[in-house]
Structure 1
Amino acid sequence: MENILREIRLAVLTGRVAFTLKAREEMGADNLMDVDVYQSLMNARTVRSKRSRSPKRVMDREKIHIIVAPSDSGARIYTKGLFRKQQEKAVFYILISSKRSTDTTERRKKKNG
């Protein structure tokens, strides 16, 4: 786990991070900027990893990394991403990034539309 956090932080520091359109849309809906997500990734203490089951995955054993951590402003941000090779370098692709609600009723409202 510590190694993957180090890899994610290194990707942020060296500019090897890319956002999917879905992540951009979610960030826009929550008024998040790239810097908020970067701060959250740098502030992370833990990461949860699991094998991707997406039909869009490139490799059979692709790992998704899930991080919930605060930005410097204190907003808790949920980020899900994975590493993929791009021109011989590992790039961390952010698939989802949004504010994490601490109010369970608010979360249910968003989920149920």
Structure 2
Amino acid sequence: MKAELITGEKVDIDVNVNALTLYNLQNEGVISADFLRSLTTGKPNEVTPDVGAILQAVYAAYRQKNPNGLKFEEFLKQYQFDMETDLEIYFAIISKKARTAFQKGFQQVAGKSKKK
């Protein structure tokens, strides 16, 4: 999977974020307790992520693939926010079940908007 920077450059990401990456990002102050809670609630369908949590997930996926990559603020300066892709990354990290539910819900909403 890839994420696109403002420059048009596409960087590799990995949504299979491991515990060491999360631990390192927490120690760096990059990911919040709220983000970690969303990973451990066991109720991914009840999670309503805010922009901060979504961006933390995207960055975690970036750092999983690029352990020595850009620091968080540098990444955000260069990252082109894309809600559709970013939510997919977020849900892929927190739960396969949540990702499937999100995709079904998104397809239903997209289908309704096409009918208008």
Q: TM-score, normalised by structure 2?
A: 0.29
TM normalised by structure 1 equals 0.30
Higher helix share goes to which structure? 2
Name the one with the larger strand percent: 1
